[in-house]
Structure 1
Amino acid sequence: MKIGWIGLGNMGNPMALQLIKAGYQVTVYNRDKNKTADLEQAGALIAETPKSLLDAVDVVFLMVSDDHAIKQIFESEEGLLLAETSGKIMINMSTVSPAISKEMYEKSKEKGHDYLDAPVSGSVKQAETAQLVIMVGGDADVYEKVKPFLEKLGKLNIRVGDIGAGNQAKLAINSLLAVYTQGLAETVLFANQNGIKTDDLLNLISNAAIGNTFTKIKGDAILNDQYKAAFALKHIVKDLRLAKTEGISSPLAQTTLKTFENAEAKYGEEDLIAVFKALK
């Protein structure tokens, strides 16, 4: 099967490269054509529009920023839904609302296509090493068809329910991610205010039951004052707002949303652990 990939940002680029390395013929599209050069060197074909990409492939992966980008890719003049073809499979790996997935599922079905939502947990490093965790919503038979591709992208993929369920699972996970991040930032800040050095505290955390890969990576970012975005703070704000729309209203959810919204104006382009600087 021929594969198409739309969206070559921090995550999309290494994920598409995994499929090229696995031996698949991959055609890519990105609004900024400068981002296609390295994949073209690796063997990818380049499409000029989403519509022309769909004509050339059997399965299309999407990894873009938000609901608006999805609507543009599907419904614009050169969008996927304007292609005079049918029988394709769309796999949307973006973190978007369940509502947009349900809408595009219905519109894809009307055109004779299948659609899955399949967002991922993990960041750039996990994308580069095919260690992502993938949560899928959609028809079981379609999921079974594309499992071999998903296995090239991550260490685990699970169909969690019908269309939109993957998006809801991702919003749940990212709500916990926000709580973890704020908790770590506040813990380091409290320790510092009481004369405890950051590296000593992080050593204690790493060797305690609460230590994990996340606290190690983000703790080191605080320690080394490194806030280059692996997952931009502005994106966690988007996800927390989506979770609120989906009905999450717990005290922690409300608190983290407010905290990250307050940090977004100054630190939105930096990594989400930059919330430490906002709290400081």
Structure 2
Amino acid sequence: MNIVWIGFGKMGEPMALRVAAAGHALQVFDVSDERRAAARAQNLEVIGSLEGLVGDADVIVSSLPNDAAALQVLAGEGGALTHARAGALLIETSTISASASASLAKVADARQLGYLRAPISGSVSAAANGTLTTFISGPEAVIERAGPIVSTYASTIRVVGDAEQARVMKLAVNLMVTTLVASLGEAYALCAKGGISPKVALDAISASAIGSPHLKFKADALERRDFTPTFTVAQMRKDLKLISDGARELSVPVLLGAAVEQIMCATEASGFGGEDYIACAKVIAGLSGLTI
């Protein structure tokens, strides 16, 4: 298939490389000079404009940072969807709101495009290994068409509906992920003040009934004092806003999510916005009279 890949960022790069390695003809578009250079360094063809070449694409795949970027690059004046040919397929993998996604759906329908909502969950290494999880929703025929591409970077594919359900599912998972990490920070502080060494405490937490691959990964990073970002505090704050806004629209209380949003706000205000979101443990420790 001829594919235009829009967004060659932290997650977009390894995903695009897997799609290209599967034998698809891939052209990359990104607004960043640095990211375009990174694509060229991987021997991928880079396009400087969406006009023209998008019209020849069978598939458009987008990996963009937020609602505003997705709406502008895809549906804005001169955006990708305005140049796409009828019958082409859009696979949108970003974490964006259901309302922004619904706006994209209207444009896609008007242009007679297939539209798959396909936000992904997982790390950069999972993207490189093709072991991401993706939640997908859309018409059955669109899901079937997209399968060969999605399966190049995701080993777990969950179909959750025929419209915007995938957007809600991704936010629900991120709500649980960030709440788990914040509670890990509180448990760590509690153990430290209770006289338990960090390694013993974190190993015990990881081996307990609450243990999960993600918790163990974050506990290991906390034990090593490694706050190298896999997902930054600033990025998590963006997702928490999407969660709170989406929950408000659906009249769902997210009481724990609201508390975690304030913790992440304090973490970013403390100068840790560019660090991994496990850095919230440093702020929680500080409130407890501890230093990490």
Q: TM-score, normalised by structure 1?
A: 0.94
Match for residue 275 of structure 1? Answer: 280
Partner residue in 2 for 1:11: 11
In structure 2, distance between residues paired with 1:50 and 1:213 = 40
Structure 2 spans left out of the alignment, 5+ residues: 286-292
Segments of 5+ residues of structure 1 without an aligned counterpart are: none
Structure 1 residues 234-273: Cα deviation after superposition (integer angstroms, max 9, x where no partner): 1221212112112242321221122222222322221111
Partners in 2 of 1:185 and 1:91 — Cα distance? 36
- 1:53 deviates by 4.3
Aligned AA for 1:117?
R
Structure 2 residue 113 is the aligned partner of structure 1 residue 116: no
- Give, as a single letter, the amino acid of the residue that structure 1 aligns with 2:51: K
Q: Secondary structure, in 3 states, of the residue corresponding to 1:246?
A: helix
Q: 3-state DSSP class of the match of 1:51?
A: coil
Which residue is equivalent to 2:206? Answer: 206
SS of aligned partner of 2:195: coil
For the pair 1:103 / 2:103, whether they are aligned, the reply is yes
For 2:63, give the aligned amino acid: M
Residue of structure 1 equivalent to 2:157: 157
Deviations 1:145-177 (A, max 9, x none): 111111111111122112211110000000001
* Aligned counterparts, 1:221-232, within 5 A: 221-232=221-232
Structure 1 stretches (4+) deviating beyond 6 angstroms? none
Checking the alignment, whether the CA contact within 8 Å between 1:5 and 1:27 is kept in structure 2 is yes
Q: What TM-score do you get using the length of structure 2 for normalisation?
A: 0.91
Q: Does 1:244 align with 2:249?
A: no
Instruction: Please name the residue that 1:60 is paired with.
Output: 60
Cα distance in 1, alignment partners of residues 38 and 167 from structure 2: 30
CA 91–84 in structure 1, closer or farther in 2 if over 3 Å, else same? closer
Structure 2 counterpart of 1:73: 73
Contact 2:172 2:243 in 1 (8 A): yes
- The equivalent residue for 2:262 is 258
Deviation track 1:28-59 (CA, whole Å, cap 9, x = no partner) reads: 11111322334334442111123344123211
Q: Which moved more, 1:32-41 or 1:5-14?
A: 32-41
Matched pairs, number: 280
Q: Is 1:175 the counterpart of 2:175 in the alignment?
A: yes
SS at match of 1:226: coil
CA RMSD of aligned residues (A): 1.6
What secondary structure is seen at the aligned counterpart in 2 of 1:279? helix
